[in-house]
Amino acid sequence: MTQPAPQTRTARGRPRSFDRDQALEKAMRVFWEKGFAATSMTDLTTAMGIAPPSLYAAFGSKEDLYAEALDLYDQRARTLTEDIYSQGPSLRDQIEASLRLSARIDGKDVPTGCMVMMACEQSSELSEELQDRLSDKRCRGTDMLKDRLERALETGELRADADVEGLSQFYGVLQRGLALSGRVGIEPDDMETAIAKAMQAWDRLTAA
């Protein structure tokens, strides 16, 4: 009598014992505070509350985890910026709010500086693929600003001959500079002064 073939047991991995989204949030915070190169695997596993095998199984390599953390940061920064550009009594107020967001002067309990801009400074430590992704993220704030100014032209919030390209580049550079200022020790009062001067320039550049 022919014996039935043995049943093949499907291997099942052990159920994940941690919240992946929460772990990623904690990893983002560590990378934001310390940067990619200075962050050790011990820093990450301690903050995330998981063992190294769990980290590798859930996220892959350290750079894979960093890429996800950057995506999370970038998505949140984009959402905050979109909220600013969709609210506020005037375009001027929105521009000022976007500068303050870059400077984190009104910030909550978050690390100083911009995680994306910090990553760009350390790009030599990263793969070419991630460097390319960073390049797109670095320009996103200026692109969003330009889109907002173009809409302002259409709605009459800006005068018809306003230099949208020049304004977006000028204030985009200011945003990136402010995003790094706190990280290098620039005092909040000095950033406040810079923002005030930038808004005086806005009044002159956009005066009817």
Q: Report percent pLDDT > 90 for the chain.
A: 62
- Confidence band (pLDDT; 50, 70, 90) for 107? low
Q: How far from 119 is each of 11, 56, 137, CA to CA, in Å?
A: 39, 22, 10
User: What does the pLDDT look like over 77-99, one tens digit per residue?
Assistant: 999 999 999 987 899 999 999 99
Q: What is the model's pLDDT at position 6?
A: 41
CA nearest 104: which of 170, 172, 192, 25? 192
Average pLDDT (142-165) is 94
Domains of the chain: 62-205 (1.10.357.10)
User: Tens digits of per-residue pLDDT, 164-193?
Assistant: 999 999 999 999 999 888 778 888 899 999
**Maximum pairwise Cα distance, the chain:** 97
Checking if the pLDDT of 4 tops 80, the result is no
Average pLDDT, the chain: 87
**Which residues lie closer than 8 Å to 26 by C-beta, 6 or more apart?**
47, 48, 49
CA torsion 68-126-100-182 (nearest 10°) is 120
Residues 6+ apart with CB under 8 A from 169: 142
User: Is 108's pLDDT higher than 70?
Assistant: no
